[in-house]
Chains A and B, each alone.
Chain A
């Protein structure tokens, strides 16, 4: 409980201009925003607010993918069936549009270079969003610090930031990137073509030969429960494991 970080007053709503929207995978809209946030930490999120003509407002939270100091703020918005806000980003929004945001928010699921390593990052699906900010922050400010990113997705082409992460690992021997695809075959040596279970996770950690100082796990609740339990079973102290869960069970 001694790691509390004072969060600056950042909760006023402010206008953010969409500078571009890309589609790195069929289900993801990568939204780049021009907004003066001041500082933020890798892992923090923004609240987004959209207003209908009748005054109705919808809000959602999205993790920031861009690393601290980036010129533009990047959000990865997954298209949810029956969604209310995500279809707006996928079908309506375009460069030049203005939305409202507030933040950065969150003082727990964050990582600073001075927090040190070794750093274990485990992502399920769009849970990669806050973890890619940490990987980018580490690459920029703490290269050489041992880190391992384990990323589970349905298929190879569903992996947001995939090529960037492969490149990061090829340039920096201290950064390992392992992909697990639950509905397609593994593409690279060391990748997995099935769901990550305790056996896989313990095997990866044993061959890594690092003891993570901290683990960040983000994904669906079922994914996070399984990974966090496997880490605890493997001997990791629960207080070293930080979790963030998206959506329902």
Chain B
């Protein structure tokens, strides 16, 4: 059903190819978060990998920066409808993180934890195989606090709330445990190409 009188913006073939349904392209980098921006100092920052309640590996800021660093340029898609093309990130691939910890994923699910107690759940298969990283740099510079610095999870093929800001840990869970927004009406997986925005989206 067409909306009377609505034509929309002129659309390029490239935008049509790269924009998931319901998204629009933006050039700036909007910020969305549930509360104040936490004040994280890299001197206090640690990253903990856990299997259930049990810590498997822990890195401080210097140790984490000494892990192999990889660059990824990806399109990102926020559930609030904006998409941004070709965002350049640098950080530690989740594959390299697991290798450094000497761990094979013991379960199929993970929960990302942030210093402000934010959590979000991501299946392991969305994190491995070159798909995701713990990003430390954006556009060649440390990530600004409002955008999740010092470190944020980057899972660019899922809606961007899955790319937890201020991340300080990943935890294997037995089941797919809902995180912060997933408990508040948002989808458990969040694939933008399937438009999995809200809980009951297929």
Query: Which A residues form the contact surface with B (CB < 8 A)?
Result: 1, 4-5, 7, 9-11, 15, 47, 49-53, 56-61, 84, 88, 92-93, 97-100, 102, 105-109, 221, 225, 228-229, 231-232, 238-239, 241-245, 247-249
Contact = CB atoms under 8 A, between A and B. Distances in A.
B37 A248 contact: no
A48 to B, nearest CB: 10
A198 B29 CA distance: 25
B31 A11 contact: no
Majority-rule SS of A interface residues:
mixed
Contacts, number: 126
Contacts of B7: 52-53
Interface of B: 1-9, 11, 21-24, 26, 28-38, 80-81, 116-117, 119, 146, 180-181, 183-185, 197-201
Given A51-B2, A243-B36, A9 B184 contact: no
Contact of A5 (B2, B23, B184): B184
Contact of A238 (B2, B35, B185, B200): B35
Majority-rule SS of B interface residues:
loop
Contacts of B199: 7, 9, 11
16 contacts: A1-B117, A1-B180, A4-B184, A7-B185, A52-B6, A52-B7, A58-B24, A97-B4, A102-B198, A105-B185, A107-B183, A108-B34, A238-B35, A238-B116, A242-B35, A249-B30
A51 B29 CA distance: 26
B30 A221 contact: yes
Contact of B8 (A84, A98, A99, A245): A84
A238 B36 CA distance: 6
B185 A228 contact: no
Nearest to A4: B183
B149 to A, nearest CB: 14
B6 A88 contact: yes
A198 B185 CA distance: 34
